[in-house]
Amino acid sequence: MKPQSMGQAVLIALALIYLASLYFMSSPVWMGFTINALIVAVVALAWNITGGFGGMASFGHAAMYGTGAYASAILQVQYGINAWIAFGAGIVAGAAMGAFIGALAFRYGLKGSYFALVTLAFAEVLRICASSFAITGGGSGLQLRLEPGLSTLQFNDRAVVYTILLVIVALVMALTAWLKYSRFGAYLIAVRENEDAARALGIDTYRIKVKAMAISGAFAGLAGVLYLQVWLFIDSAVVYGSAVSIEALIGPIIGGAGTVWGPLIGTLGLHLLGEGAKHLLHNAPGLNFVLYAVVLICALRFLPQGLMGLAARIGTFRKKENDNA
Amino acid sequence: MLEVRNLSKSFGGLKAVDNASLDVPEGGIVGLLGPNGAGKTTCFTMIAGFTKPNKGTVRFMGRDVTGLPPHRICEMGMIRTFQIVQPFAGLTVQENIAVGAYLHHHDRAEAMAVARQIGKRLGMGAMLDRPASSLTIAGRKRLELARALATGAKLLLLDEVMAGLIPSEVSEIVGIIRQIRDEGHTFLMIEHVMQAVMSLAETAYVLNHGKMIAHGTPRELVQDPGVVEAYLGHGAAARLQEGHHA
Amino acid sequence: MSSLILPAVLSGLTMGAVYALVALGLTLIYGVLHIINFAHGSLLMLALYAAYFLFVHLGVDPYLAIPILLPVFFCLGYALQRWLIAPMSSGSEQNVLLVTLALALIIDNLALYFWTSNTRSVDIPYAYNTVEFLGAYLPLGRVIAFFAALAAAPLLWLFMTRTRTGSAIRAVAIEKRGAEIVGIDVNHTYAICFGIGTACVALAACLLLPTFYVTPQVGYTFVLVAFTTVVLGGMGSLPGALIAGLLLGVIESLCGLFLGESLGQIGIFIAFILILLFKPSGLLGRRAA
């Protein structure tokens, strides 16, 4: 989690300064906007586990995000279950969905584009199902009853919501860092770099990949539950829609896939850019996505390791001997 | 230590390996020779669990391991390397070796310590913090060996570990393999570089068209007409003989 | 209910022929360039709008727009592959998918911005004249689309097997390095192939518009169906795409009949998942994934 260069330190500091400054700006607009960005950052961190460390780019993280949100909403709305329990259930449901998709996809050796497309198809199937069945509220979605309080996990004060989200993002990032430097993380990176060599070294690659999907699913489910608790309303297009899946992958790729800070920095940067463009272009719908897409193409071409990779090359702390030799 | 019996594998109508048997005694260095396309690598992939044989058995340290997945076989102490070396490019040399070490050392600090120690033993002490992608071919071959050793494997299946090296690098690797063997490891190696086989292997098998055609000491094998024919073509042995007499 | 099945199957076949046509372009691109073009549906949407505006502003009948839009979209496809997708993706398969995804986002959202999310359709009365076949009544526009799409597939096949360009494309598809050595300009051939794939989409759009509608979202719907068709038919297989397209049209139509209109497409996606999982090589695919 520690920066490796002056550039990275500056990048991280900028993100932290921005996040801290919101406490002093007392601007509900910026606060609300950043709350959204932080929720997306959690899905981005989820995508980063499989897409960044594992090299398995999913186009359908909405499948796990939506499952987490719906699991929690169904338990609360249809069965009157306590929000805390539903919160946990949402995470578990996201993890289960991730493991399920992973188990199926990897059992048959899907990778690369095939994996991307099958995850997308799962998200679509779930979206259509959620808009068709009564238990998910059909086309009209599910609405939590407004009951602010600690027991319902609903808070009127935006600053409280914001603080909770900051803590959760920090926790997810700490977990990511811990995973990265664990046996599991090393194995996952080995699978990304060269699956055959990984198998030869005694790694059960199937298990590692499914486990990665489960962990990623848990994070994505968590993000879905957070969305539900913040906005109290979900429907199939919002939580299973392709926009979630796309935002989940663009942030990490721009920020630096397979790094701890990349997903947060990429997501914040993108959202700031999108928000700025919105003001300039008078709230034109969808134009922020055009901007994201242009940035994505440029990043793929010019920043193969994302912003963190670029920053790593600026003012390296410990001079490594002739890397390029 | 390793007993392979009647191993067979066909792809479509082609018999890649046909009824091949071989033995590797503990502490030995055994060669597996043969011309290109003879089925040597296919043999390795079956022994190490990467593909399932159609027929035959593989026993390792007295246990039947036929058809087990590679990671199970590796846990028991048998590991293969690849002809085209495959380092994890995004990791440093030490981290590469640690991936192997994690098999029996779950803690990062422990695995990294084992990796450092093995790296130093193989003369890679100065390169430990470099990205694996920056290594030369010879360096990558060493890394491949180091990673395999780090898993704690007792039997190493080396697939053309000398290919692509210049003679001075070959003799370095030969020295390293001897040193590792003296520390109690066993080797089965596919090799094209005859010099290496002659100086390392106690016995060797020759595979041609998927069949074992000869078995003996390297010195015996180079004089075996069948082996010479397999390498140099039909009638070659006779022509060589004539050449000697002329 | 059984009296509804035959019309549903026939109507599914007519829609399926259009799916097949869209998928032909996609599978051609995959078969040669070995890339998945995520923007394929968005290009279809763009072609639908082009045909729509030609009709509304210039009074060009969508069928007469075919000779106009075919070359235009061929050039568009050529340019996209040659000067955007290829240089921006640096040759990595995953990057191609991401670049074309980004392209889809750009096209879809610009369409949303300029043309809003309103559903638009052209009013060509004769397209809805019905044709009776085996007791089922089908709109004329759908019947034309069916036969035109069926005719396009063998034409494409003839082009691939009988012309010099077709041979070059097949050579590059089989052995890129070798084709380069014998003097084939690989980048140019790739771009031509992408252009042909895009032209297929323009043809599909002109055939589709008289009995369909256009919104900025229509591309996303179609791209998933097209992927399913391509995978079901066997990645890169032209006859496979044709059969699979027809089959999926019927599946969708029957699912719509039995499960309700909104669930029609779920049959396609479930088919997609099942195929990817159990037979990723598809019906007529030559090799597994």
Please state the domain extents for chain B: 2-245
State how far the Cα of A240 lies from the Cα of A131, in Å rounded to an integer: 10
ipTM here: 0.89
Nearest-by-CA chain A residue for C90: A301
Name the more confident of B239 and C259.
C259
Residue contact A293–C105, C-beta within 8 A: yes
SS3 at position B230: helix
- Confidence band for B226, pLDDT divided at 50, 70 and 90: confident
Q: What is the pLDDT of residues A145-196, one digit of tens each?
A: 999 999 999 998 999 999 999 999 999 999 999 999 999 999 999 999 999 9
Alpha-carbon distance A130 to nearest alpha carbon in chain C (angstroms): 11
Interchain CB contact of A253 with C (< 8 Å): yes
| Nearest Cα to Cα of residue B146 among B164, B132, B160 | B132
**Does A322 map to a domain?**
no
What phi and psi values does residue B23 have, to the nearest 5 degrees? -130, 140
Alpha-carbon distance A60 to nearest alpha carbon in chain C (angstroms): 13
**Owning domain of residue A69:** 42-260
Closest partner CB to B151 (pick from A187, A196, A202):
A202
What phi and psi values does residue B162 have, to the nearest 5 degrees? -95, -15
Alpha-carbon distance A55 to nearest alpha carbon in chain B (angstroms): 12
Residue contact A121–C273, C-beta within 8 A: yes
Alpha-carbon distance A109 to nearest alpha carbon in chain C (angstroms): 8
SS3 at position B6: strand
State how far the Cα of B230 lies from the Cα of A173, in Å rounded to an integer: 60
**Does A214 map to a domain?**
yes
Q: What is the side-by-side strand order in the sheet with B155-159?
A: B78-80, B155-159, B186-190, B29-33, B203-208, B211-216
Residue A42 contacts residue A246 (beta carbons within 8 Å): no
The predicted structure's pLDDT at residue B158: 93
Q: Could you tell me the pTM of the whole model?
A: 0.92
Strand B211-216 relative to strand C130-133: parallel, antiparallel, unpaired? unpaired
Closest partner CB to A128 (pick from C110, C266, C289):
C266
Residue contact A290–C93, C-beta within 8 A: no
State how far the Cα of B61 lies from the Cα of B24, in Å rounded to an integer: 10
* A312 token code pair: 């790593």
Residues in A closer than 8 angstroms to B86, CB to CB, are 194, 196-197
Residues in A closer than 8 angstroms to B69, CB to CB, are 199, 204
Element (H, E) at A323: none
Q: How many degrees, rounded to 5, is the angle at CA A240 between CA A238 and CA A246?
A: 90
Which residues of B sit within 8 Å Cβ distance of A?
48, 50, 69-71, 74-75, 79-82, 86-91, 95, 98-100, 102-103, 106-108, 111, 129-131, 134, 147-148, 151
Q: Where are the beta strands (DSSP E) in A172-300?
A: 233-234
How many distinct helices (H) and strands (E) make up chain B? 10, 10
Best C80, C88, C101, C268 member to test A by mutation, with max A CBs in 10 Å, is C101
Rounded to whole angstroms, the maximal C-alpha distance in chain A is 64
Is the pLDDT score of C288 beyond 50? no
Interface contacts (A, B; CB < 8 Å): 84
The predicted structure's pLDDT at residue A95: 98
**Does A227 map to a domain?**
yes
The predicted structure's pLDDT at residue B246: 47
Interface contacts (A, C; CB < 8 Å): 117
The string of DSSP codes covering C132-150 is EETTEEEEHHHHHHHHHHH
State how far the Cα of A117 lies from the Cα of B25, in Å rounded to an integer: 49
CATH architecture group of domain B2-245: 3-Layer(aba) Sandwich (3.40)
Q: What is the pLDDT of residues C57-113, one digit of tens each?
A: 999 999 999 999 999 999 999 999 999 999 998 778 888 999 999 999 999 999 999
Domains in chain C with CATH codes: 2-278 (1.10.3470)
* C227 HSE (CA, 13 A, CB side): 30
Q: Is A275 exposed, middle or buried (0-12, 13-18, 19+ CB in 10 A)?
A: middle
Closest partner CB to A194 (pick from B74, B88, B151):
B88
Mean pLDDT of chain A: 92
Residues in C closer than 8 angstroms to A249, CB to CB, are 98
What phi and psi values does residue B38 have, to the nearest 5 degrees? -75, -15
Q: Is the dihedral of CA B220, B221, B227, B231 positive or negative?
A: negative
Residue C280 makes CB contacts below 8 A (sequence gap 6+) with A108, A110, A114, C231, C288, C289
Residue B221 makes CB contacts below 8 A (sequence gap 6+) with B33, B204, B206, B214, B227
The predicted structure's pLDDT at residue C289: 33
Strand B55-60 relative to strand B203-208: parallel, antiparallel, unpaired? unpaired
Residue contact A187–B82, C-beta within 8 A: no
Query: Which amino acid is located at C236 in the chain?
Result: G
Interchain CB contact of A293 with C (< 8 Å): yes
| Nearest Cα to Cα of residue C265 among A126, A181, B28 | A126
Is the pLDDT score of B174 beyond 70? yes
β-sheet bridge partners, residue B4? B22, B58
Q: List chains touching C (3+ CB pairs under 8 A).
A: A
The predicted structure's pLDDT at residue B241: 67
| Rg of chain C on CA atoms, in Å | 18
Best A183, A184, A201 member to test B by mutation, with max B CBs in 10 Å, is A201
**Does A46 map to a domain?**
yes
Q: Which residue has the tokens 């014998």?
A: C182
Q: Which residue has the tokens 């499914």?
A: A210
**Does A203 map to a domain?**
yes
Distances in whole angstroms, Cα of residue B136 to Cα of each of A62, B80, B87, B158:
43, 21, 11, 19
Quick one: average pLDDT of A77-81?
Answer: 95
Residue contact A202–B75, C-beta within 8 A: yes
User: What distance, in Å, lies between the first and last C-alpha atoms of chain A?
Assistant: 28
Q: What is the pLDDT of residues C137-185, one digit of tens each?
A: 888 988 999 999 889 988 998 998 899 999 999 999 888 888 888 888 9
Q: What is the pLDDT of residues A207-227, one digit of tens each?
A: 999 999 999 999 999 999 999
**Does A186 map to a domain?**
yes
Residue C201 contacts residue C152 (beta carbons within 8 Å): no
The predicted structure's pLDDT at residue A324: 36
Residue A253 contacts residue A246 (beta carbons within 8 Å): no
Residue A288 contacts residue A278 (beta carbons within 8 Å): yes
Q: Which residue has the tokens 């496809």?
A: C77
**Does A219 map to a domain?**
yes
Residue contact A297–C88, C-beta within 8 A: yes
Interchain CB contact of A202 with B (< 8 Å): yes
Rounded to whole angstroms, the maximal C-alpha distance in chain B is 67
Nearest-by-CA chain A residue for B92: A323
Whether B contacts C, i.e. 3 or more CB pairs less than 8 A apart, is: no
Q: List chains touching A (3+ CB pairs under 8 A).
A: B, C
The number of distinct structural domains making up chain A is 1
Is the pLDDT score of A48 beyond 50? yes
State how far the Cα of B192 lies from the Cα of B38, in Å rounded to an integer: 12
